[in-house]
Amino acid sequence: MAVPKRKTTPSKRGMRRAHDKLDAPAYIEDKDSGELRRPHHIDLKTGMYRGKQVLTPKDD
C-alpha cells in the first residue's frame, strides 16, 4: 500500500484546493428582450437561439 513519505504542508494543500472552487454562473443580457440568460442557451420565453426561431414561444 502506498504511504506518503512526508506530511503535506498546509501551503501545498491550499494550492491544490485552490482549483476546486465553484464559479458563479455567467449570465448575459439578451439583445432582443433585454432579459438575462445563460450564454449558448435557448431563450425559453421567445424560443430564439442565435437569431433563429428554434422553439415555439412559451405562454405564461
Residue 57 confidence (pLDDT)? 82
How would residue 60 be classed by pLDDT, with cut points 50, 70 and 90? Answer: low
Whole-number Å distance between alpha carbons of 49 and 41: 7
Is a pLDDT exceeding 90 seen at residue 47?
A: no
Q: Which domain holds residue 52?
A: 25-60
- The structural domain count of the chain equals 1
Q: What does the block give as the cell for 57?
A: 414561444
The answer to whether position 29 is within a domain reads yes
The answer to whether position 16 is within a domain reads no
The pTM of the full predicted model, rounded to 2 decimals, is 0.53
The answer to whether position 44 is within a domain reads yes
Q: What does the block give as the cell for 21?
A: 472552487
| Per-residue pLDDT tens over the stretch 9-45 | 999 999 999 999 898 999 999 887 788 989 999 888 8
The answer to whether position 39 is within a domain reads yes
